[in-house]
Amino acid sequence: MIDETLLDAEEKMEKAVSVAKEDLSSVRTGRANPSMFARITIDYYGAPTPMNQLASVSIPEARMAVVKPYDASQLAEIERAIRDSDLGVNPTNDGTIIRVLIPQLTEERRRDMVKMAKSKGEDAKISIRSVRRKAKEELERLGKDGEVGEDDVNRAEKELQNLTDAYVHQVEELVKHKEAELLEV
């Protein structure tokens, strides 16, 4: 019972870290990155479809992305989706590919992006702590019902705290790395 509770908590904490990685990868830096287009969805014959299923993204230069649609008829739709996204870029369409020039970030915009990254990191840490709280309540319930001994519950709570600390540290490292990436000129 204790092992199941700890394993479940670890899986949920791992999920929170992977969501944080995904969220942080969507925070725009001054460089082009294929993952910045991952959250853009295009209306493909009535169905919202992720852009990575409709086009390939390559990075020929540090501040330029080239989007090549698999279906040329979707060129205008993909261009519109990129323009309407929260990336703040203006794509140019030459008839076969879409070029996206990533503008240099201003100092103020960099600070805003750092705040956003820290906020996303804090959300992930809150999620991890919430998982810890629920697992701790479950462990206490198991101890109160007499299903496991008090020593086992205490040992499991320490292990749960160690897990929590490890995953919170992972999130802090991700945020620190993103902050360094954002502040690099």
3-state secondary structure at position 92: strand
Tokens of 105: 């970030």
- CA angle, 167 then 172 then 178, to 5°: 130
The pTM (predicted TM-score) of the whole model is: 0.73
CATH number of 34-101: 3.30.1360.40
The Cα 5–Cα 153 span in angstroms is 11
Please report, for the chain, the start and end positions of each structural domain, with discontinuous segments joined by +: 2-25+106-183, 34-101
Stretch 13-42: mean pLDDT: 85
Q: What are the pLDDT digits (tens) for 99-142?
A: 999 888 888 888 888 999 999 999 999 999 999 999 999 999 98
pLDDT over threshold 80, residue 185: no
CATH number of 2-25+106-183: 1.10.132.20
